[in-house]
Structure 1
Amino acid sequence: MELNEVASCLEALGNPLRLQVFRTLVRSGPNGLNFGQLQERIGIPRSTLAHHLNSMVQAGVLVQQREGREVFNRVDFARLQQALNFMLAECCQDGGPS
């Protein structure tokens, strides 16, 4: 994962409402939630939720998958792990002597 990709992921989560949506989806696990379930749990207007979901999908932290008439929103846990690994890969490299 490259610096710009990690920055995009973090930027997508930098809004309090998007972070709330993301945390709700993390709690739901790998099955995710459909739009209606997510809206019910968050309690925001459909258009607002759609806007925030779109931002997170474009950044690659969420994926959407159509199953019949429903669209499920899921955290891309593998991509999230890549971003975390990128940020922690050089931990303590410049810490100097102990």
Structure 2
Amino acid sequence: MDEANALAALSALAQATRLQTLKLLVSREPDGVPAGELARLIGVPQNTLSAHLSILANASLVAGERRSRSIIYRADVERLRQLVLFLLKDCCGGRAELCAPLTDELIPCCPEPAPRDD
């Protein structure tokens, strides 16, 4: 990710409804959320949410997929990963021990799957 893309993503997230929307969509991966349900869950009118989703989509943070008469929105988790890595790439000037508290907090979020007994 380059600086221009990072700035676009951060700008898109610098608004409460959009940040809440992205967080909700991340929590609903990989299934996504229909647009109408998303508006209800966030508590905003559908046309207002549509404008916010457009901004998030332009920053490549979300994508919509038409399924029958609904549009299912999903977070682009890979793009979010790229943004976080962009922010942390040069973390602590290469001194990993200074970043350990941050990375330690991330690990419980997404634990490695337990080994299988095959």
TM-score for the superposition, normalised by structure 1:
0.90
Distance 1:17 1:83 in 2: 19
Q: 2:67: which partner in 1?
A: 67
Distance 2:50 2:68 in 1: 19
Output the amino acid matched with 1:60.
Answer: S
Distance 2:81 2:94 in 1: 23
Distance 2:33 2:4 in 1: 28
> Residue by residue, what CA displacement relative to the aligned partner does 1:44-69 show, whole Å, maximum 9, x if unpaired?
11111100000000111001111121
Following TM superposition, the consecutive aligned residue runs of length 4 or more in structure 1 with deviations greater than 6 angstroms are none
Aligned to 2:8, the other structure's residue is in SS state helix
Shift of the alpha carbon at 1:94? 7.7
Q: CA RMSD in A?
A: 1.6
Structure 2: runs of 5 or more not aligned: 96-118
Distance 1:46 1:74 in 2: 16
Q: In the alignment, does 2:52 pair up with 1:52?
A: yes
Q: Identity percentage over the alignment?
A: 34
Structure 1: runs of 5 or more not aligned: none
Distance 1:43 1:78 in 2: 27
Paired residue total: 96
22-31 or 86-95: bigger deviation: 86-95
Residue pairs, 1:11-90, within 5 angstroms: 11-90=11-90
Q: 2:93: which partner in 1?
A: 93
> Residue by residue, what CA displacement relative to the aligned partner does 1:20-65 show, whole Å, maximum 9, x if unpaired?
1111111111211011110111121111110000000011100111
TM-score for the superposition, normalised by structure 2:
0.76
Distance 2:84 2:42 in 1: 26
Decide which structure has the larger Cα Rg and report it: 2
Aligned to 1:29, the other structure's residue is in SS state coil
Shift of the alpha carbon at 1:88? 0.6
Indicate the structure whose relative CO is greater, using CA pairs within 8 Å and at least 6 residues apart: 1
